A and B are shown apart, each in its own frame.
Chain A
């Protein structure tokens, strides 16, 4: 699947289909989004007054743009498969959980479990992300402009997590094959997570991720790479203290 590059989302324009959650229900919004078929002309959507609603624009499977004007509750963009969703506010827990493809951009901060178990696509958090960012990630790319909380990338299996700020305690605990890039300080590393050499291919990969997330003025060389030491991949009683 080709990498998603963020494009500037359309502001109010006449082509957008506007859904005002003050006047219509969440069910109506998601149902309308699920009824979209390939080639639909309704490619631009705008959601007004989300007011912390949960499950806004979940399970969308068409390449439309969705601008959410305000903050959302849990699981915004859950299982997204192709849509480019922008939240012009902050996001509650589990934003972009299990995303398959497409992109989600949070203009504000994100709560716990951002991008949990995500399989593909790009999640950009322009503010900070709370604890367990990228937990159990399975192929998603996550770029956080600010800091991330503790236990982030716990059991992260695949994909890339890029943090321009700092990371909290126990980063990458029990990590598998995901790659973590942190520009600031890391409070502590979790079990079996170690700092790794930044080779040319990693610098190139990171530059690509920064480009896709429209990050400018930041160089890949400013980051450190972290990943699995792979010592816990097969059980050994002498490693019991690490569990």
Chain B
């Protein structure tokens, strides 16, 4: 018997891991960057890295099911004659008709309305489905201006000037040819079937001084009735918030890099922008420095999943959160019931993100008439409403445990962080210490 040296276990590179290798092979074979939907999938510091302290001897709790804990929020009270009053501090983020099917947009409107909150148009104009079924509808004013017209501007309940979004700060929208149906093409004034790449910059203003004049124009057109939001991707949250306030915004919306997109380059989604958690405290600080905290409302989005996320975001000083990806999941996105169909597309439920291809088995991110029948707007709207109500109840549960009779009374002192990174980003102490990295010279 011959002696053989013990073999080493085959070892794969941490740098060149399987996913990286597959992406190199894919790029070499196809000659195009990878495009997908959704937000950043990499592991990031997030609300899971924060814990709520709850009551103790020095803080007494409220009775869970008996004592009141307010959830309502008013948006746009700074300048608008008709601010928006929402029952819950969770709104539905902008998602376009074109990216989403008509029934999916209708379901979002129905669900939001049942739960007492707002929904938002997207980079494709306003559809009758969503206007008709949304009690409170925010109309996005985007660089592409697809479908933009004064009639829809006036029948909106608020206007959101979109400067950027978390998945792609500095990038424009993208809708590939498969999804440019006759109806989508007509709404966007484009030829059917082309790959549509929206502009990344507004066509008629650049910079905060112009933005101030643009907001004046929108207010004049709508007779100063509508709240005007300014939405930015999570890039420079302190200065973006300050400049939005300076430009006259009623509401600032900051979308962290976990916030989804209908379609953009994977390299963009994973490498540009900041995590949601990192955006909140600088934005709140800007509002406080200007004396505008709670006067100009702050909405944060990107990776909000449950009532704990809502409570933690509010404790850090935001007025409301917004959900997109989670809302789609409530409608039925990535549902395991379509697993066989996902497998046919070379993926699995939970990982499907080729929303731009228009072949969504769940019938949400598609313009295919057969697939979109899989979304029953009434049932899907009900699921969304259920989910929104559960999130609200969860947030109330946490707030009452902290002795707060309003979700908006949660404060940074109710939080600690599990990691140094999260402690630094959120500006709360590392658990078990009184250390806030970056504060007091350390």
Contacts and interface: CB of A to CB of B under 8 A. Distances in A.
B205 A237 contact: no
B213 A59 contact: no
B146 to A, nearest CB: 8
Interface centre among A27, A79, A116, A233 (most CB of B within 10 A): A79
Given A98-B145, A119-B189, A136-B199, A55 B204 contact: no
Contacts of B74: none
A237 B223 contact: no
B195 A30 contact: no
Contacts of A176: 190-191, 194
B350 interface: no
A110 interface: no
Contacts of B199: 136, 155
B214 interface: yes
Contacts of A30: 220-221, 223
A113 B191 contact: no
Contacts of B214: 74-75
A151 to B, nearest CB: 10
Interface in B167-206: 177, 188-191, 193-195, 199, 203-205
Contacts of B217: 54-55, 58, 74-75, 78, 97
Interface stretch (B13-21, B148-156, B313-321, B400-408): B148-156
Nearest to A138: B189
A157 B203 contact: no
B220 A55 contact: yes
Interface string B134-149: 0000000000110011
A100 B203 contact: no
Nearest to A94: B204
Contact of A59 (B204, B210, B220): B220
A233 B191 contact: yes
Interface in A213-238: 233-235, 237-238
Nearest to B32: A237
B216 interface: yes
A122 B311 CA distance: 52
B213 A73 contact: yes
Interface of B: 30-32, 144-145, 148-150, 153, 177, 188-191, 193-195, 199, 203-205, 210, 213-214, 216-217, 220-224
Given A79-B221, A93-B204, A100-B150, 11 more contacts: A34-B223, A58-B220, A75-B204, A78-B221, A79-B153, A81-B150, A93-B205, A93-B210, A113-B204, A119-B189, A234-B177
